[in-house]
Chains A and B, each alone.
Chain A
Amino acid sequence: MVNNLKVNDINDIDVDQNINIINDFSIQVATPNGSGSQTSNLVLLRSLFKMGIPSSGKNLFPSNIQGMPTWYTIRCSQAGYVARRDSIQIMVLMNPETALQDINNIQSGGVCLYPESAKYNFDREDITYYPMPVKRLAKESGVSSALRPYVSNMVYVGVLASVLSIDLLEIESALSWHFKGRQKLVDTNMPVIQAAFDWSRENLTKTDRFQVERTNSTDGTIMVDGNFAAALGAIYGGVTVMAWYPITPSTSLADSLTEYARLLRHDAEGHATYSIIQAEDELAAAGMIMGAGWAGARAMTATSGPGISLMSEFAGFGYYAEIPAVIWDVQRVGPSTGLPTRVSQGDLTACHWSSHGDTEHICLLPGNVAECFEFGWRAFDIAEQYQTPVFVLSDLDLGMNNWMTKPFNYPDKPMNRGKVLTADQVNENGFKRYFDLDGDGIPYRTLPGTVANGASYFTRGSGHDESAKYSEDPLDYATNMSRLRRKIDSSRETLPAPIVEHNKTASIGFVGFGSTDPAIIEARDRLAVIGVASSYLRIRALPASLTVSDFIASHERVYVVEMNIEGQLHKLIQIQSPELATKVLSLAHCDGLPLTASCIVSEILEQERGPNGKIKD
């Protein structure tokens, strides 16, 4: 059975049977970048989602403003799978440059929509072609020639609505939502969609078998991107100083923060209870949040790989001088400029050990948009509790693409402002900035402006003693560093705990983090179908809970799934549990695209197959 399994999912929707395929297909729209197709794609996605069809949308875009190829993929999955999938059933070819390559990516039995004016000589006979009169319908819409390229993209919305039976009312309300209720824009676009729909009904004979049906599967869910979620989380976490520098794919986090803070965070006179500064660079952004965190603000920045490199000096400063701050890293592909608009999880070790000298930073690893929101506020509590910079590692897929989620839960804990002494407390008990009074490695701090005898201290990145005085004394240095070690270690079991699904019958387990979650879920289901049971542990923070070691110990083999080349989490786990190192195998894969279940399944079958071709016990 295993040997017959199609591990490459290029043809994984079963179209051989002569029955309709309901709510289970992928639509890909190929366009030149900057041609204004995003509105059309998001409207389609939202319409499908609002019809109750579990859907996800992924934008595969180039590092370019205009002209280079872009693909937007919408996956509908009645089973609720939202990971990327290689196979495409319905292709909309709006980019002549990539048409010949795109046509080959359509699954046999699939559909190809294209502008009839393109006059392609396609030779595939196993797919259905629907040429669309794009130019004519755009022209007949009566919009100015400047707007015509935009409304042109509405033609495929109308044709798809007709071919797949997408409710036009849902499309209209998605348009209205997208344009934030501006009726004039709806009135410009909707007639084109309607005209294309009508043309399609009159002129096309449906020969494919894909269609949608309304369900209630998305009731009670919303659809948002992770950067929005993170920004909103930060606002409810009481962020007071945000300093940032534009960089893909983190920019929309700062943009969302700006948009929603303006709505939510001002006093009765309209004065802001926060400050958002677009710094001159990431060095300055890091400096600003250090200064702000030191002064007592809930300070954060959002950046991506190159910014992480630039901020590393201050990360080390914050670790050593013990300054709370939150650093969001919306990861893209490195090293160096890498692939700026593609996804990876390649910054794990760079963040965990950021800066020269011995450091170990707390890292939070949200695996879905709800956790982007939750860690958005919790990160401040953790940073202030441990008086240290906290990294939150999202990525381009999680941050910039749209995901279904339950509405976010309001913070269920009061703010934890950490060990901050008041003037009275200082006057009563005295104060030594780096003295481990409680034995937990976490000292007390005072905020600048605290008027009390002995409240002030000298913060420095150079060697210091318990009283924050300059010291090159070997014992002072060693004592301080070992306290910092203890402090970070003590966070291990208080940070967001791993999510564990322990399958008692399984001999293998998966360990993952972040946005690979949907691919791992889907891969496990597919493996289960062919008799390969598995357990799953998703790490949500570093330093990792010792639960991870227990999980490894209770399985024969554990695969660490991650989107990078070196297997960074795999190595971190081996370091944490050297005695279990041989049981931990790396399933690291990175090509800039979100991970697919097929990739995991084929890798597992490869590794789990014994010499006789059978799956190991």
Chain B
Amino acid sequence: MGKSRINTNLIGLEKQDYKGSPTTLCAGCGHNSISSQIITAAFELGLQPEQVIKISGIGCSSKSPAYFMNRSFAFNSVHGRMPSVASGAMLANRDLVTIGISGDGDTGSIGLGQFKHAMRRNTPMIYIVENNGVYGLTKGQFSVTADEGQNLKYYGKNDLPPLDLCLEAIVADCGFVARSFAGDPKQVRPLLKAAISYDGAALLDIISPCVAFNNTSDSTKGYDWVKEHDDPLHDITYIPIQEEVTTQYNPGDTSMVTLHDGSQILLRKLDESYDPTDKLGAIQALQSANNEESLLTGLIYYDPNRPNLIQSENLVESPLVQLTTDALRPNEESLSQIMSNL
């Protein structure tokens, strides 16, 4: 009895129920550790796997939905268009939990428009960018998040400045913008849980080193560089709604964020001055970190007040896909009335 309790979650499922197929990505790929954090987060939150949809675009990152949560529904779409597919699915069934998986090429290049518009509409979804600064499947071209001046074996020097996807999200009015590092599961996991509890578009830009093409010591997307330059804003603890906060904390150096479902995240500040609800401050902090070649991680910007897409569309409570003919087809009299008014 005691044993089974340990192994099952709130809805009685085991961690095994959240596993995916064996990965076909490279050994050591950051994406795999993100997948395993998604598995753990979903298990610990007690998500019903079939109520989760995994939507992706094209690229190494977009293959990864096959490697977690096999009991969930998945839609591996076309390049750069995960956000629109996710938006359509959410409008159709507002009860689903959407995990969007994309990469820096999928989101930052072809998908930049859809990315920003999904943020702007506040489409309820967890938008994960597995960001490695390079195109893996086509063998090592620079992506738009690659460092300016960086050299890669086959493509020489990158002359263009990188796009910062967190900055792009903030200026598009995304209300949950976080950055993390695939090699830091202690930070990734609470951020994932918080993103799932957030009822709107939540961006997780996770630096996820590409061991095949972009793990050099001078790449800001490599394991060594990130370990040396990671500048976490805070230590993060996710507190599910079921648990009372028992930890003693000093409000001076912690801040508490309550999410839409009542759960909370406790941010133990490492940078005393940082306030994640200050939009301009967040933009400035990101820009400064980029100038100083450090990697700011944690919950960078938070705004729970914008209505999400479902709310602004004023949809009925019941998912649209569950409506029956009665609700979907107006009666015959209404048609006669329209006809007689013409």
Contacts and interface: CB of A to CB of B under 8 A. Distances in A.
Interface residues of A, number: 67
B81 to A, nearest CB: 4
Nearest to B69: A456
B72 interface: yes
B329 A284 contact: no
Interface string A155-188: 0000000000000000000000000000000000
Contacts of B38: none
Interface in A246-301: 260, 264-267, 270-275, 277, 279-281, 283-299
B320 A271 contact: no
Nearest to B320: A240
A386 interface: no
A224 interface: yes
A449 B76 CA distance: 17
A457 B21 CA distance: 12
A393 B315 CA distance: 30
B329 A411 contact: yes
Contact of A292 (B88, B117, B315, B334): B88
Given A411-B329, A448-B96, A280 B113 contact: yes
Given A265-B330, A280-B113, A457-B73, A448 B325 contact: no
A391 interface: no
Interface in A404-456: 407-408, 410-411, 414-415, 447-452, 455-456
A447 B321 contact: yes
B36 interface: no
A272 B314 contact: yes
Contacts of A290: 77, 84-85, 88
B74 to A, nearest CB: 4
Interface string B308-342: 00000111110111010101111010111011101
A296 B93 contact: yes
Interface in B257-282: none
A445 to B, nearest CB: 11
A559 interface: no
- Of A235, A267, A273, A449, most buried by chain B (CB within 10 Å of CB) is A449
Interface stretch (B43-51, B160-168, B241-249): B43-51
A241 B93 CA distance: 10
A464 to B, nearest CB: 10
Nearest to B110: A283
Contacts of B55: 291
Contact of B93 (A237, A411, A448, A456): A448
B89 A448 contact: yes
Given A238-B325, A295-B93, A295-B96, A461 B48 contact: no
Contacts of B336: 407, 410
A264 B86 CA distance: 27
Given A222-B339, A271-B315, A470-B66, A459 B76 contact: yes
B25 interface: no
Interface string B42-83: 000000111101010000000001100011111111100101
B95 interface: yes
Contacts of B91: 240-241, 275, 277, 288, 292, 297
Nearest to A314: B78
A223 interface: yes
Contact of A291 (B71, B84, B319): B84
A451 B51 contact: yes
Given A271-B315, A280-B117, A240 B92 contact: yes
B138 to A, nearest CB: 15
B294 interface: no
A451 B113 CA distance: 34
A414 to B, nearest CB: 7
Nearest to A239: B328
B114 interface: yes
A197 interface: no
A448 B53 contact: yes
A248 B334 CA distance: 29
A201 interface: no
Contacts of B93: 295-297, 447-449
Interface of B: 48-51, 53, 55, 65-66, 70-78, 81, 83-93, 95-96, 113-114, 117, 313-317, 319-321, 323, 325, 327-330, 332, 334-336, 338-340, 342
26 contacts: A222-B339, A240-B91, A264-B330, A265-B330, A271-B314, A277-B87, A277-B91, A277-B313, A280-B114, A281-B113, A284-B114, A287-B83, A288-B88, A290-B77, A291-B86, A297-B92, A297-B93, A299-B88, A314-B81, A410-B335, A452-B50, A457-B73, A457-B74, A458-B74, A458-B76, A461-B77
Given A281-B113, A284-B117, A287-B85, 12 more contacts: A287-B83, A287-B87, A290-B88, A291-B86, A291-B92, A292-B92, A294-B75, A297-B88, A407-B336, A408-B339, A457-B73, A459-B76
Q: Which 3 A-B pairs have the closest CB atoms?
A: A287-B84, A291-B88, A238-B328
Interface of A: 222-224, 232, 235-238, 240-241, 243, 260, 264-267, 270-275, 277, 279-281, 283-299, 313-314, 317, 407-408, 410-411, 414-415, 447-452, 455-462, 470
